[in-house]
């Protein structure tokens, strides 16, 4: 606005010289266009390199134990140094482009001002006072234009990062589950959970389905074990049953109503999921447990811990329930984390309790106690557990045996014992 007002004063004094100034300004702006597009390219490069640097750091921190056990700190340090150097080079190159654009503009402006003053004296025969005002106006105008140009240049450099961030927000919004507007009431399981003709492939490898034509009926109050070798798709099936993934074909129905992204949140209100690798936040055991059910009383916490065979080890901790578990629960053993995760799930008073390898990290005695708890929850709770171990399967009302992503057999332990005994993993691998 200021620049426009100043230009209007200049036009009032001498339209011809002002037009000359306008043309010179346009020519200068044109000169800096290649620099603006270079800034934009540098900005894109800088965004990519920053992203790579962040990925490297978080990956390294997550795998620190492995890196040390491989004695591979040197390699990671080398990778980090190379990435940091690349980022620094990008940053310096961006700054250099900005500085070059500024130099072009400043030099060009000085030359233009001198040329205009000369032209005004020689050709337009302006009186000295008008000439002085004109030069003054242009001397004020030039820094404004230079700032504008620098602003445009910086914008060109920073837009790629902005576009990258907004693009990511758009992708996340598109992928987000709809949050229902109407009041949410849990989708209770009263009759049966039915899986019919379910097939699933991950979007990253659509041509290799993980699960194919899976059919399963889980009547309420039953204890069902889904078994199969490692990599057969048990965790994927658990994610599907919990509405974290959507089937590619077929459906999962709760009392006849298909599970869809629209009602998945309601379904999760009445179900609980113990994932294969439980995650605890860096806070006390109590705070972690209250995340599962913020309204739970102290007595309910104690009861859930007892049922999950975690009461004894929690009581033995120096601060009991108020012991802080460390980053990702690092101060607890994996078996202890798993039992806390089971206690969390029980606190939610679920209609369906879904567990993924709940006893994989436990000793035999603890496993027996947990399986006894799971069995005792039925028929009040429907329990579906993914497992590759015999102990949970022995107590299940029904076992579903997966092989090569398909249901190979169903039945009780006594009926399937022959098929289940022996090298479960080896059979899966051969297939
Ligand atoms: N996020 C993912 N993207 C692509 N493929 C995956 C993903 N998660 C698992 N898989 C693949 O799906 C198959 C089944 O994995 P998973 O369900 O974890 O098996 P299980 O729990 O039975 O060991 C494996 O072959 C695995 O490579
Ligand atoms: Mg698994």
C-alpha 63 to ligand 1 mean position (Å): 20
Find the 148 Cα to ligand 1 centroid distance in Å. 53
Give the residue, by CA position, lying nearest to ligand 1 atom 5.
202
Instruction: Determine phi and psi for 103, rounding to 5 degrees.
Output: -65, -45
Query: From the CA of 400, how far away is ligand 2's center (Å)?
Result: 15
The confidence score (pLDDT) of residue 426 equals 41
Q: Which ligand is nearest to the CA of 230?
A: 1
Distance, CA 214 to ligand 1 centroid (Å)? 16
Task: Divide the 431 residues of the chain into consecutive groups of 10 and give the mean pLDDT of each group.
Answer: 87 87 86 89 93 93 89 92 95 91 88 84 82 85 83 91 94 83 76 94 93 94 92 94 93 92 87 91 95 92 91 92 90 90 92 91 87 87 92 91 91 82 48 37
Q: Measuring CA to CA, which residue among 316, 286, 318 is closest to residue 304?
A: 286
The string of pLDDT tens digits covering residues 129-181 is 888 888 888 888 888 888 888 898 899 999 999 999 999 999 999 988 777 66
| Ligand 1 atom 4, closest CA | 202
Cα distance between residue 195 and residue 169, in whole Å: 33
Ligand 1 atom with the shortest distance to the CA of 388: 22
Which residue owns the Cα nearest ligand 1 atom 8? 236
Return left, alpha or beta for 93; rule: phi > 0 is left, psi -120 to 50 is alpha, else beta: alpha
What pLDDT is stored for residue 141 in this prediction? 83
CB within 8 Å of 190: residues ≥ 6 apart:
220, 255
Q: Among the CATH numbers 3.30.1300.10, 3.40.50.300, 3.50.50.60, 3.30.470.10, which is that of 192-430?
A: 3.40.50.300
How confident is the model over 200-236, as pLDDT tens digits? Answer: 999 999 999 999 999 999 999 999 999 998 899 999 9
- The tokens for 160 are 């790629």
pLDDT at 182: 62
Cα-to-centroid distance, 215 and ligand 1 (Å): 19
List residues near ligand 1 (CB under 6 A): 202, 204-205, 210, 228, 230-236
- The pLDDT of residue 377 is 85
Length of the chain, in residues: 431
Closest-lying ligand 1 atom to the alpha carbon of residue 357: 21
> What local confidence, expressed as pLDDT, does residue 88 receive?
95
CB 405 within 8 A of CB 210: yes
Q: Which pTM does this prediction carry?
A: 0.76
Predicted confidence at residue 427, as pLDDT, reads 41
Nearest CA to ligand 1 atom 20: 231
Neighbour order of strands in the sheet with 223-227: 271-274, 352-356, 382-387, 223-227, 398-403, 406-411
- Of ligand 1's listed atoms, the one at least distance from the Cα of 239 is 17
> For the chain, which residues make up each domain, given as ranges?
2-175, 192-430
Report the residue among 203, 211, 233, 360 best suited for mutation to probe ligand 1: largest number of ligand atoms under 8 A from its CB.
Answer: 233
Return the bridge partners of 253, or none: 194, 258
Question: The domain 2-175 is classified under which CATH number: 2.60.120.10, 1.20.1560.10, 1.10.3720.10, 3.40.50.300?
Answer: 1.20.1560.10
Ligand 2 mean position, distance from CA 296 (Å): 30
Helix (H) or strand (E) holding 57: helix 15-62
């Amino acid at each position: 606005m200021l620049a426009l007002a100043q230009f209007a004063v200049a036009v009032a004094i001498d339209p011809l010289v002002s037009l000359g100034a306008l043309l010179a300004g346009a020519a200068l702006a044109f000169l800096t266009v290649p620099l603006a597009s270079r800034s934009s390219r540098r900005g894109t490069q800088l965004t990519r390199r920053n992203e790579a640097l962040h990925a490297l750091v978080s990956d390294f921190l997550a795998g620190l134990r492995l890196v040390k056990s491989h004695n591979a700190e040197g390699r990671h340090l080398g990778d980090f140094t190379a990435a940091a150097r690349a980022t620094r080079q990008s940053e310096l190159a961006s700054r250099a482009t900005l500085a070059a654009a500024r130099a072009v503009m400043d030099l060009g402006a000085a030359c233009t001002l001198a040329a205009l003053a000369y032209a005004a004296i020689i050709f337009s025969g302006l009186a000295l006072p008008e000439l002085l005002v004109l030069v003054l106006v242009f001397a004020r105008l030039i820094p404004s234009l230079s700032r504008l140009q620098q602003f445009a240049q910086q914008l060109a450099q920073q837009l790629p990062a902005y576009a990258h961030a907004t693009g990511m927000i758009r992708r996340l919004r598109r992928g987000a589950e709809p949050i229902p507007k109407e009041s949410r009431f849990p989708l209770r399981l009263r009759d049966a959970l039915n899986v019919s003709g379910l097939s699933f492939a991950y979007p990253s490898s659509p041509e290799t389905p993980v699960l194919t034509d899976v059919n399963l009926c889980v009547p309420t109050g039953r204890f069902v074990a889904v078994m199969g070798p490692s990599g057969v798709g048990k965790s994927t099936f658990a994610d599907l049953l919990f509405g974290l993934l959507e089937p590619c074909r077929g459906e999962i129905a709760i009392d006849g109503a298909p599970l869809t992204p629209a009602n998945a949140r309601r379904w999760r209100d009445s179900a609980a999921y113990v994932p294969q690798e439980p995650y605890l936040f860096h806070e006390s055991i109590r705070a972690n447990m209250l995340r599962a059910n913020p309204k739970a009383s102290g007595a309910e916490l104690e009861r859930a811990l007892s049922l999950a065979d975690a009461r004894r080890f929690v009581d033995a901790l120096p601060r009991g329930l108020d012991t802080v578990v460390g980053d990702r629960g690092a101060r607890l053993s994996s078996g202890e984390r798993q039992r806390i995760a089971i206690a969390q799930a029980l606190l939610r008073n679920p209609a369906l309790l879904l567990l993924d390898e709940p006893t994989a990290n436990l000793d035999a005695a603890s496993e027996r106690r947990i399986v006894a708890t799971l069995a005792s929850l039925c028929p009040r709770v429907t329990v579906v557990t993914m497992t590759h171990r015999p102990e949970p399967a022995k107590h299940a009302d029904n076992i579903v045996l997966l092989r090569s992503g398909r249901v190979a057999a169903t039945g009780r332990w006594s009926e399937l014992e022959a098929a289940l005994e022996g090298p479960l993993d080896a059979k899966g691998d051969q297939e």
